[in-house]
Each structure stands twice: as structure tokens, then as C-alpha cells.
Amino acid sequence: MRIGISCYPTFGGSGVVATELAMALATGGDEVHIISYALPSRLSMLCGNLDNSDLAPGPQLYSNLHFHQVGVTHYPLFEYPPYSLALATAMVEVARHQQLDLMHVHYAVPNAVSAVLARQIMAPAPLPVVTTLHGTDITLVGNDPNYLETTRFGIVESDAVTAVSDWLLKATRETFTVDKPIEVVPNFIDPARYERFADRPGARRWASQEERTLIHISNFRPVKRVLDVIETFHRVLQQLPCRLLLVGDGPDRAKVDKRCRELGICDSITFIGNLPLVEEVLVGGDLFLLPSDAESFGLSALEALACKVPVIGAAAGGLPEVVTHGETGFLLPVGDVDGMARAALELLTDKERHREFGERARQQALERFSQDVVVEQYREIYRGVLG
């Protein structure tokens, strides 16, 4: 198949999943064309040189994986450049010249609407649209009154729609009152990626021999409750030597810095910043903290599980579909930093139980979220919209 994939190129989960899917499809022999305003972060670590719009095959890339950059022209007339129209135009151009069979868009706003517009421009030539909903495109951006109706339109007009969790499917139905069939296709992991790092020090590079390592990865937005991470870590630090590794960046970074100084624990926290290959940090870690208000899925938690790192998180959103409470981690009520600290200490002070949690975490990640199984689910959906 010749497949177009449109996504945001940033470090967020939707872009990571879209890029991993593109690479898996290309590995399986499909011709894949990624369309975005910049090279996705996950690809930027793997590719060689850019030759026009194509990725020169690096050690893990293939000649049938291509990138097409969306150009947005800045005219004095436009206070805000119309990216959604430029994206639709790019989709049409790529679909026509590369003879795409379908367009798979990740994140509803504006990708789904742009793809539907591109399909209409292409008519009568067919261009089926598959839309994958990832979370904030439904719970935050999509339900904003300024975007709600266009988001609903993009969902309803898509030829097939998927959501990354049962929780997100239900949230979509409640928010947009749509009865369109939506199939749950979870996020996935490539086991080989984590196996390549299994023998490396990973998180241990930033910690002394006696320190246990706690890790958090996010975009530091309010919904991630990074201050709860700090409070939980502070309570654990009072009981045993440990280090907190913070991967990512975002609007709450200044608040985190301020709270660290107030608690006097800055020397025990390492800010690593954005990192495309998170397994470089997760391998060798002891615990992963994810106390978010609501994760639509929790891709970073799945990546932690794949690295044998138990998860301490909030029992909200789609995270309970990823982390099995009492087996691969512990899930507490949102905001319960005392409970999260107790759960963390329970595992960190019991070496054998911690090892068992880590082994089960890896096992369940492979059994329930294997790349081969999930990618085949997408291929089945593609075959469905192609008739």
C-alpha cells in the first residue's frame, strides 16, 4: 500500500506513535509518506541526510519512507498563517504525485479536517481518510468552543476512526455526541528498541551507587501535575537516597524549579530536557512517576514498562488500561502524593517484589502492546476502507 501519514512532529505521544507506525509499515514493505511542518523528532535521530523531500536511508530507515514538509507562507494579510489549508494542499499534492491509497492522520485538529478537505479536492479520485484520536485533540483542544464543530466534522467525515483507549472512545462519544463507529487500537512498542539498550547503564549514568532512580517524562503542562512528581519524590527522598530524572520541558518548568528550591532538593534532581529516544533514560531506572489528571493512554508509562520499570501513577483516564494495579505498578487517586510516596517506598524497599513487578511489566508490555499485533490492526483497517 501507499500510505500518507500526517502528524505533529513534536515529542508528544501522537507524533511518536505516528512515526513508529510509519517506520513499522515501511519495514513491512509499504510505501509511507509523512506529511508535517517539520521532520518528526523520533525520525530526526535516525535519518541520514535530506534529499529534497525524501529521507536518505540511515541504518534503520528504508527507501520507501519519505518526508514531505508543509510550507506555510507568511503574508501581511494573515495575522495567523492558515496552516490547515497549507496542510490540505500538501496532502493533495503528495496524494496525486505519489498515488497514495489512503491518508492516515494522527490528532484531529486540524489534521482530520485538512484530510477531509484534501479528499474533497481529489474527487472523483478516491482518498480514504483514517483518523486516530490521541487525547487532548478530544479532551482539551477539540472540545474548545472555537474548534468543537470542526473537530466533530473531521471525525464524522473520516472513513474510519480509531482511539488509543476505551476511555478516550467514551470521552469522544460524550463530548461530540457522535455515533460513528470508533475502533480502539492501542499504542504500541517495538521490543527490539528496548532490547538494544538492555545492557546499557541508562538511568544509572545520572545517579550515584547508593541512589535509587525515579523518572518522569512529559511536556510539563498542568495536566501532567509535575509538581505532584516533586512532592512525591520529596517524601521518598526523606526515607532513602534517590535521584529524580526529569525528561521533557514545558510551561510548568519554572514552577518546578521554584518548588525544588523551596524544598531544598535541587541537588537531587536532574533536568535532562527533551530526548527522542527515552529508553536511554528508562533502562536501569527504578520507578516511573505519572500522576497526571488524565492520560488518554500513557505512552511514556508503556515505554517504562517495556524497560522493566514499574509505574506509580494516577488511576485516571486510560492509564489503568496500561498499568495493572498491584502487578506492574500502583495507581492512586489524582493528587494523592502521600499514597504515591508510600507505594514507591513499598517497592523500593522490597528488592524481590520490585524485581517481580519489573518482570511482569516487561511481559505484559510485550503481550498486550506488541508492535506486530497493533500494526496489523491498522493494516486491517486500511484494507477495510479500501474495500
Task: Of 323, 4, 103, give the one whose Cα is nearest residue 331.
Answer: 323
What is the CATH T-level fold of the domain 191-368, as seen in this structure? Rossmann fold (3.40.50)
Q: How high is the pLDDT of residue 133?
A: 95
Q: 41 with 15: CB under 8 angstroms?
A: yes
Helix (H/G/I), strand (E/B), else coil: 329:
strand
Q: How high is the pLDDT of residue 47?
A: 52
Quick one: pLDDT band at residue 50, thresholds 50, 70, 90?
very low
Quick one: pLDDT band at residue 60, thresholds 50, 70, 90?
very low
Q: Does position 323 have pLDDT exceeding 70, yes or no? A: yes
Q: 288 with 307: CB under 8 angstroms?
A: no
Average pLDDT value for residue range 120-136: 94
Task: Of 109, 67, 114, give the one whose Cα is nearest residue 89.
Answer: 114
Q: How high is the pLDDT of residue 387?
A: 87
Q: How high is the pLDDT of residue 153?
A: 94
Q: How high is the pLDDT of residue 275?
A: 81
Distance CA 69, CA 9 (A): 11
Quick one: pLDDT band at residue 49, thresholds 50, 70, 90?
very low
Q: How high is the pLDDT of residue 45?
A: 58
Q: Does position 215 have pLDDT exceeding 50, yes or no? A: yes
Distance CA 233, CA 255 (A): 15
Q: For 193-229, what is the HEC assignment?
A: HHHCCCCCCHHHHHCCCCCEEEEEEECCCHHHCHHHH
Q: From the CB of residue 372, how many other CB atoms can be counted at a distance below 10 Å? A: 11
Per DSSP, 128 falls in state -
Task: Of 313, 309, 308, 267, give the one whose Cα is nearest residue 294.
Answer: 313
Q: Where do the CATH 3.40.50.2000 domains begin and end in the chain?
A: 2-188+370-385, 191-368
Q: Does position 142 have pLDDT exceeding 80, yes or no? A: no
Q: Long-range contact list for 253-262, CB < 8 A, 24+ apart? A: 253/220, 255/226, 255/227, 256/220, 256/226, 256/227, 256/230, 259/227, 259/230, 259/231, 260/230
Helix (H/G/I), strand (E/B), else coil: 384:
helix
Q: How high is the pLDDT of residue 61?
A: 57
Distance CA 303, CA 290 (A): 12
Cα 331 to its chain centre, rounded Å, is: 20
pTM: 0.89
Dihedral sign for Cα atoms in the order 14, 19, 22, 28: negative
Which residues lie below 8 Å from residue 164, measured CB to CB, with a gap of 6+?
A: 17, 132, 133, 134, 135, 184, 185, 186, 187, 296, 297, 318
Task: Return the CA Rg of the chain.
Answer: 21
- The percentage of residues in the chain with a pLDDT greater than 90, rounded to a whole number, is 76
Which cell goes with 382?
486500511
Which cell goes with 35?
506529511
Task: Of 153, 108, 160, 99, give the one whose Cα is nearest residue 129.
Answer: 160
Task: Of 208, 201, 367, 351, give the one whose Cα is nearest residue 285.
Answer: 201
Distance CA 328, CA 137 (A): 28
Q: Strand ranges (DSSP E) for the chain?
A: 2-6, 31-36, 50-51, 54-55, 65-69, 102-106, 129-133, 160-163, 182-184, 212-218, 242-248, 269-273, 287-290, 311-314, 329-332
Task: Of 64, 73, 12, 79, give the one whose Cα is nearest residue 34.
Answer: 64
Q: How high is the pLDDT of residue 199?
A: 80
- Mean pLDDT is lowest, of 192-196, 319-323, 326-330, for 192-196
Distance CA 227, CA 335 (A): 10
Which residues lie below 8 Å from residue 275, measured CB to CB, with a gap of 6+?
A: 247, 248, 281
Q: Does position 327 have pLDDT exceeding 90, yes or no? A: yes
Mean per-residue pLDDT over the chain, rounded: 91
Average pLDDT value for residue range 270-284: 88
Quick one: pLDDT band at residue 52, thresholds 50, 70, 90?
very low
- What's the one-letter identity of residue 20? E
pLDDT higher at 159 or 191: 159
Q: Does position 51 have pLDDT exceeding 50, yes or no? A: no
Q: How high is the pLDDT of residue 46?
A: 56
Q: Does position 140 have pLDDT exceeding 90, yes or no? A: no
What is the CATH T-level fold of the domain 2-188+370-385, as seen in this structure? Rossmann fold (3.40.50)
Q: How high is the pLDDT of residue 59?
A: 34
Q: How high is the pLDDT of residue 373?
A: 93
Average pLDDT value for residue range 205-217: 94
Q: How wide is the angle at C-alpha 352 spanned by C-alphas 350 and 357, nearest 5°?
A: 95
